[in-house]
């Protein structure tokens, strides 16, 4: 995935989930490029910068683009330091 990709899919949302061991997780939702928290991430590369420490401690990190006409699920590859496309579909419209 291009690290310059914006966290904005129009009427949809982008959801990053950091899955920790023991079933704990941290979730951030971005709607219209804005976070549900105050982390100031607007692009994929910002997530990597802001959450890199948490990525290293995680069991799994996913990034779900849920858009009206398409959706995509990515998973963070710790060894390659990149997002890998896991699944994509037609969206919710």
The predicted pLDDT at position 22 comes to 82
pTM, whole model, 2 decimals?
0.90
The predicted pLDDT at position 13 comes to 94
Q: In this structure, are strands 25-31 and 71-77 parallel, antiparallel, or unpaired?
A: unpaired
What are the pLDDT tens digits along the chain (93 aa)? 999 999 988 889 999 999 998 888 999 999 887 788 878 889 999 999 999 999 999 999 999 999 999 999 999 999 999 999 999 999 887
Residue carrying the six token digits 């069991």: 59
The predicted pLDDT at position 75 comes to 97
For the chain, the domains span: 13-89
**Residues 6+ away with beta carbon under 8 Å from 25:** 17, 18, 19
């Amino acid at each position: 995935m291009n690290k310059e990709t914006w966290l904005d899919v129009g009427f949809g949302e982008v959801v990053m989930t950091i899955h920790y061991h023991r079933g704990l997780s941290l979730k951030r939702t971005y709607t219209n490029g804005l976070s549900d928290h105050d982390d100031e991430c607007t692009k994929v590369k910002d997530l990597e910068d802001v959450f890199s420490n948490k990525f290293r401690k995680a069991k799994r990190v996913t990034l779900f683009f849920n858009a009206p006409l398409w959706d995509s699920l990515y998973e963070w590859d710790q060894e390659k330091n990149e997002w890998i496309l896991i699944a994509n579909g037609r969206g919710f419209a």
